[in-house]
Structure 1
């Protein structure tokens, strides 16, 4: 009898056919080819990507010459920075997001206030807390430093005669005044160069993809009906965590697909940070994306308006949008604490504890309900999450 019990205890947990299908849907091998971005005709242009890479690491694309895109999106940190809130020229209000697989998303930033990768890339350039520059100065800089490269990709640069050195509809009073004093044609010329800077940056960022992980190797073996080998062998604890993730804990309701995200917005009762400005998430972002001159329906979009379905049918005023934030990808999640949109939790254990308790939201209604997870189950869930790293 004792021998039978010991043998039974050594048997590997079995997965149902439904569980196998769910696990397969999460594997990196299920990631479809990246669709062309018809709003950016340069999205897959190698020359644009090369220029974008140069600009991404260029500290001159900031007001004080000390901040680049790579300041917050660091290669060695999964293209993020490990801080609770990003630090550019000043301290921002939210956590820097990693970039692996970012081009698969229909919305950008934690609140989705931009609807394309290229329009997203423009925001930090003029944000006073990030790179804090202005579009006229950027256009002049690109012409002076990269004029020949730019023109090989995008065509002739405009004549900047009579255009102020610094001007933008955003920024300082002087910059806004200079912008207002320009002609419509001059403003359009600057905006076109500015949009192309974003399109080059997006072409580079499209190349940043997630790497295969232990989980992917385990999922491949499971799908093939084979015993996993080497580091693809999951411990009993990791298998329990996986089963919880796709089952009892309901994590895969939102963290689904090969990128472990539904790309949607959810209020999960995450508390605000006391010393940061009020942040209502998605509900305040819809007006911003509608008003953005670089959005999919704007004149700087390449291609036709048929690509703009997400913007045309965007949910704009439902109460569910209050304090709703985009579901982050969980790929390589163990290596990038702290967590949530403003770094509210310092560890995966704290994140799991939050979802188990499911506190009420300070505004709006949280979608999360309390989970009855034992301490052992919480540990197992964290153990599984660690398998999502290369």
Structure 2
């Protein structure tokens, strides 16, 4: 059975036909469920005061060592919540900034899945030397010495233990397990056990507030969603939200181009990790291989005392995740929602346009020389010029224009 859909009013092309199987697949990719953003591992998820505090912290540069960097320095709202720069633009960084769009729908966080919760992942950049370059002790000091931060924090989380008052702490300090002689590690270990515990608690609260805000960064009302809603309701005017070109691109997305094999579901991502041969020769970044080790070693993972969920609310995937040889060079499948707003693509920012991305997949065999393990679903697509244009038209239809218009212009 085939179902024909009318084109947009300005298109004179023949209407696109979809099989019943394609129709069901389209309906499975419709708008996201907002209720899923209530993270059971974060008791402040969905709390309006926590969201407001997290937004303040997200755009605030006072958590960085030199007060010049905030989360928004790299996660720029009008650049697809990323910065579009190549990985080499930050000293020592191997990866480009991953978008925050619909980040609350992930099971693993980061290109390699180094965290199993959004709040835990939001803490990593704060202490990364090539990102915010702060430390958890410094965060504890700044929260208490900046009047507005202190009042907002204590109103939300309660009083801060006297044993970690600024006078009781060094200016900096964090664990550096791989280098026990590191100055920051020595300062961290000079604190008492109870002080380290209290600093960790404050640090986690900051992460949970930031995560509460980041979970509100949602793209769910695009032209594609209007089309899919019209398909479900048999409403021709809504189905006309997609041009004929974009409708053809959708058919390619589901079929010949095989995009849906990884970019599936309402978030246009399977949430998993794949080796697509995109790493450059000589890159020392093992992706998921490293991410597994990092999430298992994290003191903030689901197995930690900071997890607010009851046992039945959040499955501890980290307990069972293991390294396998195939995980080397595997990286997260990013969401394609708002993908046209981004300035670079792939974990290492290898491509700067969607045309280049499609070129890469169209000739995928040329990239295999750099990798050890084969992703058997990837084969050259063989798209015509018109098919490339149609596929790009569909990718542009995944932008939530209303949400984009409300973003702050930094």
| TM-score (norm: length of structure 2) | 0.86
**Structure-to-structure mapping, 1:33-72, within 5 angstroms:** 33-72=35-74
More displaced, 9-18 or 73-82?
A: 9-18
Change (3 A) 1:76 1:372: closer
Unaligned runs of 5+ in 2: 1-11, 402-410
Q: Which residue of 2 aligns with 1:216?
A: 225
Mapped partners of 1:58, 1:152: distance in 2:
19
Is residue 2:134 matched to residue 1:128?
no
Tell me how far 1:147 sits from its aligned partner. 2.0
Aligned length: 376
Tell me how far 1:229 sits from its aligned partner. 5.3
Residue pair 1:218, 1:234 contacting (<8 A) in 2 also: no
Identify the match of residue 234 of structure 1 among 240, 243, 262. Answer: 243
- SS of the counterpart of 1:351? helix
Change (3 A) 1:118 1:87: farther
Is residue 2:362 matched to residue 1:353?
no
Q: Which residue of 2 aligns with 1:265?
A: 273
Change (3 A) 1:238 1:185: same
- SS of the counterpart of 2:168? coil
Mapped partners of 2:239, 2:43: distance in 1:
43
Q: Which residue of 2 aligns with 1:250?
A: 258
Deviation digits for residues 64-106 of structure 1, max 9, x if unmatched? 1110001011122222112123856x46221112212111101
Mapped partners of 2:74, 2:242: distance in 1:
35
Mapped partners of 1:358, 1:87: distance in 2:
27
Q: Which residue of 2 aligns with 1:23?
A: 26
Mapped partners of 1:78, 1:381: distance in 2:
20
Unaligned runs of 5+ in 1: 1-8
Change (3 A) 1:258 1:361: farther
Q: Which residue of 1 aligns with 2:408?
A: none
Moved segments of 4+, more than 6 Å: none
Q: Which residue of 2 aligns with 1:199?
A: 208
Q: Which residue of 1 aligns with 2:138?
A: 137
Deviation digits for residues 4-32 of structure 1, max 9, x if unmatched? xxxxx95412222211111111222x546
Cα RMSD between the aligned structures? Answer: 2.1
Is residue 2:379 matched to residue 1:369?
yes
Residue pair 1:271, 1:361 contacting (<8 A) in 2 also: no
Residue pair 1:273, 1:344 contacting (<8 A) in 2 also: no
Mapped partners of 1:173, 1:260: distance in 2:
42
Is residue 2:175 matched to residue 1:164?
no
Is residue 2:312 matched to residue 1:312?
no
Residue pair 1:270, 1:361 contacting (<8 A) in 2 also: no
Deviation digits for residues 204-232 of structure 1, max 9, x if unmatched? 11111114111112222222223235961
Mapped partners of 1:228, 1:96: distance in 2:
38
Mapped partners of 1:41, 1:167: distance in 2:
27
Mapped partners of 2:274, 2:29: distance in 1:
20
Mapped partners of 1:305, 1:183: distance in 2:
30
Deviation digits for residues 333-377 of structure 1, max 9, x if unmatched? 112121100111121111112112223152332312222323332
Deviation digits for residues 141-177 of structure 1, max 9, x if unmatched? 1122222221222122022253222111139922111
Mapped partners of 1:44, 1:211: distance in 2:
18
- SS of the counterpart of 2:380? coil
Residue pair 1:265, 1:282 contacting (<8 A) in 2 also: yes
Mapped partners of 2:50, 2:330: distance in 1:
34
Tell me how far 1:52 sits from its aligned partner. 0.8
Residue pair 1:268, 1:361 contacting (<8 A) in 2 also: no
Identify the match of residue 307 of structure 2 among 280, 296, 301. Answer: 301
Mapped partners of 2:49, 2:217: distance in 1:
16
Mapped partners of 1:253, 1:239: distance in 2:
18
Tell me how far 1:36 sits from its aligned partner. 2.8
Mapped partners of 1:10, 1:93: distance in 2:
45
